[in-house]
Structure 1
Amino acid sequence: MSERRVLHSALRQTAWVESILRAAGELLDVELSGPVDLGGSSRSTVLRCGTAGGGSVIVKAFTNEPESLRAFTAEAAGLSLGIAGPKVLGVDPEVPLLVMADLGSAPTLADVLLGNDPAVAESALLAWAGGLGRLAAASVHRRADLTRLWSRYDKGLLSWGDEPWIAQRATELLALLDEAGIAVPPGLGEELAGIGTAGGEEYPAFTPGDTCPDNNLLTPEGLRLIDFEAACYQSVFLTAAYCRMPFSSCWCVFTLPAGMAAEIEQAYRAEVVGVYPALAEDEVWQAGMRQATAVWTVDATVRLLPRAAEDAPLHRTRRPVPTRRQVLRHRWEMASALEEYPAFARTMRALLREVAGGWEVAPLPGYPAFAN
């Protein structure tokens, strides 16, 4: 990039930040200053800003791209539900942006999993799973409230809870298999249609959507969740699968010590059986978990396989981090044992043999915190 283009980009970013500060300050009727960029994403800019009184707030502003607008609506509605996440101090649907209470600079679950203290990491995992379970249980009777809040901040886009993303991923998987020259076993289409019911209405609960390790703060007051850009109601199994896999759609994917995934899964399950007593039945629970594992494996395959021709770390800056190929192979290995979906399991074994068989990458390692 030329020096002139770099300067132009910097000036444009400065102007954008200044406009965010101005809009957020007017919303709160307070002067904001000293913005610190907390990362954000291609959809949003997240700033920690000082207030005239010496405190600080978090300002999150979104672009006007369709996915950014959906993320704004989900964040505004999900946080305004008031059962998880930082307190909402103000919402400007026009910019659009939110101002939230500042939860401070506590370590995230990702920080401790990539650290070197196994006791802290295990305790944090149990707090995370139990906290998600309590959130799910507390949310069961609040769905109408979320619908009302979504309408308040609606930008004309479907929520993830209403979008048929699982069925869309299944269609994309079939196309990918064809492109890769993988023969589709008889019955795969029917099995994928059945797997697609995992997002259904039988055991719905609220989720922030992206419950990955870097979106969970370990504060002195306990676990606090951030990032509600995909907040919606979905099957509890789709959330619980993050315990078993672990972290179904995330970059922070390593292996856990023997038995630990089952332990954190049980911490989540123990919280939701109070509102859904049928989940105490092992047959019901295990069937739902296997179905959710299949859903997330399809999702990972569709997202990562097209980019796996060039192996690369899953995160741009965090280290250590696994590569695309390491995570795909790990997901396919787990899913190849889902024998109640025989065509799907055969497909996973075909991917391991005909695609991953040529990859010269190390097996997925364990989380650094448990290395010793």
Structure 2
Amino acid sequence: MTALFTNSTTAVVAAAERVLTKRYGVNVHLADPEDLGGSGQAAVLRVRVAESPIRLPRTLIIKQMWDSRASGVEGFIREAASYQFANSLARDQRPGPELLGHDLDQRLLILSDLGDARTLGVLLTGENPASATHLLMALAQALGRMHAATAGRADDFAALLRRARGTLSPQATADDVEAVLPSVPTLLSDVLGVSTPAEVVSAVESASQLLSNGSFRAFTPADLCPDNIVVSTDGVKFLDYEWGGFRDATLDLGCMLVSFPQCLCDLGLTVEQSDAMVEAWRAEIAGPRPQLLDDDVLYPRLLDARMLWVWLSTAWHLPEDYARRAMERDHVLAVPPAQALASRWAGLALAADQIGADAIADHADQVMDALNRRTGFTG
């Protein structure tokens, strides 16, 4: 079947009605579509359930992908499989909205509506330190619950991908990420005048195994950002699963501790807040992964995760990429690139110093100082 994609709101709503009617065997009428704004490659609408013989939520979210490129098709398949996988979890363990219907040919998803939930970025803006810490701990707990509920279930996710007519791996994409790591020493030398010791390069090469062979694998939305995380009446929820898959769970925690390296958001975490997040996450995942209660197991692995994200963030944000800057400028917690990177390298230096990884700490301090000089901050 060849699907016809259109950006007509009426057509998208009609398609969603057909999907719901087919799934539930009753006629469902949707009304009052509200455009929530998409990425340019998708329509995202909120609709009211006007008529339904069965019990459905009062409002629903419809998402239709138009991107016909291979990456867009892969993203939809991963997102559909991710929501199906999440539906298999107990309600209090689901990391995001409930999937109520979908159509692979039309690349259409129908989701429960989280309401006017505010994003993490908005909520952290202007919060006092105590309130921010409680919110960050809730975030870490939600992440840990998701990891605990999905640990060891990569085969179930793989089966859903196969059923979606995909030949995709359950592994969250790692190849293109690993490919940029070798460029970082040259980038640091050319742009900042900082050389990278062989010992540090070797440590990063060893740490990169986490990206594909981590032993504490669990489900991840992968595209973690304060703008993709909301706080609703049901707690912290994660959105956007286009890159959903399985990877070592410490990579997700490390991602948050370095303030979401894919973007330029800066949480401004204190040492105390970081420690509180680690403990909140560890308390949730300790059931299926009791090894992580051992500091000698957790903290070296967490340093590896942080180091990988800081290096990747540097590869993504240190070069002058104006197109990328334009996409990230609207993020609520976004700061200038050098400022975000300096904060991330500073956090890496502290984490490395905490476990006696002196070479990594010294190198991170040098990079941080060079970045601070670029921003005019001298300490």
The question of whether the paired residues in 2 share the 8 Å contact of 1:167 and 1:196 is answered with yes
Contiguous gaps of at least 5 residues in structure 2 = 22-27, 53-57
Could you give the per-residue CA deviations for residues 334-357 of structure 1, whole angstroms, max 9, x where no partner exists? Answer: 334536666655654554455552
Residues of 1 paired with 2:312 and 2:345: CA distance?
A: 12
The question of whether the paired residues in 2 share the 8 Å contact of 1:278 and 1:284 is answered with yes
SS in 1 for 2:319: helix
Residues of 2 paired with 1:256 and 1:345: CA distance?
A: 18
For residue 374 of structure 2, what is the amino acid of its counterpart?
Answer: G
The question of whether the paired residues in 1 share the 8 Å contact of 2:255 and 2:309 is answered with no
Residues of 2 paired with 1:354 and 1:123: CA distance?
A: 33
The question of whether the paired residues in 1 share the 8 Å contact of 2:122 and 2:332 is answered with no
Residues of 1 paired with 2:177 and 2:316: CA distance?
A: 13
Q: 1:43 to 1:310 in 2, by over 3 A?
A: closer
| TM-score (normalizing by structure 2) | 0.80
- 2:192 maps to 1:194: no
For residue 50 of structure 1, what is the amino acid of its counterpart?
Answer: R
Residues of 1 paired with 2:242 and 2:218: CA distance?
A: 16
- 2:348 maps to 1:335: yes
Q: 1:333 to 1:224 in 2, by over 3 A?
A: closer
Shift of 1:139: 0.8
For residue 52 of structure 1, what is the amino acid of its counterpart?
Answer: A
The percent identity for this pair of structures is 27
Residues of 2 paired with 1:245 and 1:22: CA distance?
A: 43
- 2:237 maps to 1:224: yes
Contiguous gaps of at least 5 residues in structure 1 = 1-12, 364-372
SS in 1 for 2:159: helix
Shift of 1:136: 0.7
Residues of 1 paired with 2:275 and 2:127: CA distance?
A: 22
Shift of 1:286: 0.7
Picking from 272, 289, 292, the partner of 1:259 is: 272
Shift of 1:114: 1.0
Q: Counterpart in 2 of 1:58?
A: 61
Q: Counterpart in 1 of 2:80?
A: 76
Q: 1:346 to 1:226 in 2, by over 3 A?
A: same
- 2:310 maps to 1:303: no
Picking from 179, 197, 218, the partner of 1:185 is: 197
Residues of 2 paired with 1:360 and 1:15: CA distance?
A: 47
Shift of 1:216: 2.8
The question of whether the paired residues in 1 share the 8 Å contact of 2:119 and 2:231 is answered with yes
Shift of 1:218: 2.1
The question of whether the paired residues in 2 share the 8 Å contact of 1:325 and 1:361 is answered with no
Could you give the per-residue CA deviations for residues 180-210 of structure 1, whole angstroms, max 9, x where no partner exists? Answer: 4654433454332201012223111112223
- 2:119 maps to 1:108: yes
Shift of 1:160: 5.1
Residues of 2 paired with 1:333 and 1:233: CA distance?
A: 29
Shift of 1:126: 1.9
Correspondence 1:1-372 to 2 at 5 A: 15-29=7-21, 30-53=28-51, 55-62=58-65, 63-81=67-85, 82=87, 83=89, 84=94, 85-116=96-127, 118-158=129-169, 161=172, 163-174=174-185, 176-177=187-188, 180=191, 183-199=195-211, 200-307=213-320, 315-319=328-332, 321-337=334-350, 338=352, 345=361, 348-354=364-370, 356-360=372-376
Q: 1:116 to 1:279 in 2, by over 3 A?
A: closer
| TM-score (normalizing by structure 1) | 0.82
The number of residues matched between the two structures is 351
Residues of 2 paired with 1:198 and 1:19: CA distance?
A: 44
The question of whether the paired residues in 1 share the 8 Å contact of 2:61 and 2:110 is answered with yes
Q: 1:310 to 1:46 in 2, by over 3 A?
A: closer
The question of whether the paired residues in 2 share the 8 Å contact of 1:311 and 1:324 is answered with no
Shift of 1:241: 1.4
